Amino acid sequence: MAVTQEKLTALQVMQDAPVIPVIVLNDVKHAVPMAKALVAGGIRMLEITLRTSVALDCMRAIAAEVPDAVVGAGTIRSAADAKAALAAGARFGVSPGYTSTVGKTCQDIGLSLLPGVATGSEIMMAQEDGFTELKFFPAMQAGGPNLLKAWAGPFTDVRFCPTGGVSLENAPQLLALPNVVCVGGSWLVTPQDLANGDWAKITQLAKEASALSR
């Protein structure tokens, strides 16, 4: 069944599956079969990072041809990025850090945002602008589970999606924390699997990710 086009909240994006794949695409022809492979494995929320010149074209292709997928845009660093992503079919955005300009632009244009944070001050800045579902990035490099446990005290109303250094092996430790809703990871879609067109492997990795407990 195709995903409805109603506005999604950040929490709905986070709750859809235990893992949001962080995807870097360098070839538009990979976009649709890759998205279909992930959806077949139970992963619908797809973060296409704005790190390549074809990222927006890939989003357009997925939005047009894979109705069961929900296109998201990663690496949003400016208001222009947010607007371009929305125009390309993105229904949620993810940023590596947080500025009020990015946050308020996404609110104004109706693009759900997972703002990136790595410090208590950044969490407070995002909260001031109304964001309580946040991306913790780079998670493992910045403190991992121990920092998330420490944040659980002062930030009882904040929920996180740790991303950065997350793998199938350490994801369960993160997902077991009460303030973690999902994780973000790049292991579901690797450059090698894209180059080889190994869609069956991507589906299998998506199934494994979908089965993680939280």
Active site residues: 47, 135
Query: And the tokens for 210?
Result: 């979908």
- By C-alpha distance, which of 185, 160, 167, 161 is closest to 43? 185
Assess contact for 151 and 123: CB atoms under 8 A.
yes
Helix (H, G, I), strand (E, B) or coil at 119: coil
The 10 Å Cβ neighbour count of residue 175 is 18
H or E element at residue 210: helix 199-210
Q: How many helices (H) and strands (E) does the chain have?
A: 11, 9
For the chain, how big is the Rg over CA atoms in Å?
16
